[in-house]
Amino acid sequence: MNPFDKYSIQTIPLKGDISILTASHEPDSFPHREEQIEKMVNSMRGIVMGMKTNHLLVYGKTGTGKTSVTKYVTSKLHEKLGERLIISYINCQAYDSPYSIMVNIAKNVPGAENIPVSGWPLDRIYDELVSSMTKAGTSLIVILDEIDKLVEKNGGDSLYVILKLIDENPGVLGIVVGITNDTSFYEKLDSRVKSRLSRDSVIFHPYNADQLKDILLPRVSSILKPEQYEEAAINLCAALGAQEHGDARKAIDLMRISIELAMLDSSDIVIRDYVYRAREKLDSDILRDTVKTLPTHAKIVLYSVILSIQVHPNSATTGEVGLFYNKMCNLLGYTPLTSRRISDYINDLEDYGMIGTMLKSLGRYGRTRIIRTSGREDDIKRFILEDSDLEKLRDVNLSTQLKFEQ
């Protein structure tokens, strides 16, 4: 008997295409996002009429549908205009320089496809793009997902170049659509960029549990029969997603993993217990992936936070974390970063939800930040030590060796 026989499709009671519960699935409808879709259509209608229109900033937390709805609306606009419209989607986590962004835009422009990925000066790429687009008579939509990362890296230079490409050339009609979870993004821009970024704004509010259930139920119903899932399981996925700032992605991932676990168990029904197991698995995977993708120095800062809290549970301050960080850098042979950069990494780790901070008054000595972890310190340490560059810390008793002198 082949040990894999028990996993064959014929032996699994639950069958169906669970790809519609993955991030790559693009739905045909967006419950509870009708208002945002209408605002985006109104903002882009000028392109249909051949008129200049405002740029668009799309705000919202993770999992509120910003990117999916933006892609849906722009795809419908492309459906209307056909080859007269070019859409260039760019994730600013991956492409964060003026050169890389212009090259990626060029890939979609007839006549500019052969611009090399390196070797040309930026102004030559710019001129080639303007010439090609003017000849083609096309409109351009540049979607900059996580646009805040672009500005953080380049101080607005990349955004300025793209806005100039669209705004200063009569032969180029188009808009920039910036997607961000930073509601203060526009206020952080320098005046040079603000003057070009005349914009409309669309805000994606977090989903509540009932709205998440409305998103989940049609997807699950297209996969499973009514008797193959408990409504309570869907309700639990929706409730857990609502707790995570109304994160539809979290709710959908939980439902997918719950179904996968039920399939592995050869169960004929998805019940609440599978959702609890799915949450444990998903949280572990997310934490590991988040830690894995941190820069090396951010990992050292995070490790320093954990050690500082272990040694000084009631007084883990940024200054103490800095001392631990410097000592560990010396042990590892790294050049320590400045206090300001350490503080920046602490802010980033708080944004990721790995740590929390609060200000404490020291009277005439000013204020300091008290730091706490969000839990799972042992898991975080284990994931950090999976980095081969930091594994030498594994056998070092840092809590003892680095403990501050009293």
b/e map of 233-250 (b: 16 or more CB within 10 Å)? bbbbbbbbbbebbbbbbb
Cβ atoms of residues 132 and 110 within 8 Å: yes
Percent of the chain surpassing pLDDT 90:
37
Rounded average pLDDT over 311-336: 85
Rounded average pLDDT over 66-89: 94
10: pLDDT strictly greater than 60: no
Query: Hey, how many other C-beta atoms are within 10 angstroms of the C-beta on 224?
Result: 18
Helix segments in 333-362, DSSP class H: 339-351
**Which one has a higher pLDDT value, 370 or 255?**
255
32: pLDDT strictly greater than 60: yes
Rounded average pLDDT over 216-233: 93
The partner residues of 358 in beta bridges, in order of sequence, read 370
Q: How confident is the model at residue 278 (pLDDT cuts 50, 70, 90)?
A: very high
Domain ranges of the chain: 11-22+207-291, 34-204, 294-401
Residue 88's pLDDT is 93
Please state the three-class secondary structure of 88-128 as a single string: EEEECCCCCCHHHHHHHHHCCCCCCCCCCCCCCCHHHHHHH
Mean pLDDT of the chain: 86
Lowest average pLDDT, out of 29-43, 50-64, 71-85, 143-157, goes to: 143-157
pLDDT in tens, 89-130: 999 888 878 888 888 888 888 888 778 877 888 888 888 888
**Which one has a higher pLDDT value, 249 or 361?**
249
307: pLDDT strictly greater than 60: yes
Q: What is the dihedral of CA 305, 293, 61, 91, to 10 degrees?
A: 150
Which of the given ranges, 128-132, 207-211, 223-227, 329-333, has the highest pLDDT on average? 207-211
Q: Give pTM, 2 decimals.
A: 0.73
Q: How confident is the model at residue 363 (pLDDT cuts 50, 70, 90)?
A: low
DSSP state of 337: P
Rounded average pLDDT over 292-304: 91
Separation of alpha carbons 213 and 231, rounded Å? 10
CATH of domain 11-22+207-291: 1.10.8.60
Lowest average pLDDT, out of 7-11, 67-71, 395-399, goes to: 7-11
Separation of alpha carbons 203 and 181, rounded Å? 10
Residue 12's pLDDT is 59
Q: How far is CA 133 from CA 39, 161, 206, in A?
A: 27, 16, 38
Rounded average pLDDT over 211-238: 94
In three-state secondary structure terms, 67 is helix
Cβ atoms of residues 107 and 51 within 8 Å: no
Percent of the chain surpassing pLDDT 70:
91
Separation of alpha carbons 120 and 99, rounded Å? 9
Lowest average pLDDT, out of 55-59, 89-93, 170-174, 359-363, goes to: 359-363
pLDDT in tens, 171-219: 778 899 999 998 889 988 888 888 888 789 999 999 999 999 999 999 9
Query: Hey, how many other C-beta atoms are within 10 angstroms of the C-beta on 307?
Result: 25
CA 368 to chain centre: 30
Q: How confident is the model at residue 9 (pLDDT cuts 50, 70, 90)?
A: low
The partner residues of 135 in beta bridges, in order of sequence, read none
The partner residues of 174 in beta bridges, in order of sequence, read 140
Architecture of domain 34-204: 3-Layer(aba) Sandwich (3.40)
Architecture of domain 294-401: Orthogonal Bundle (1.10)
Residue 404's pLDDT is 45
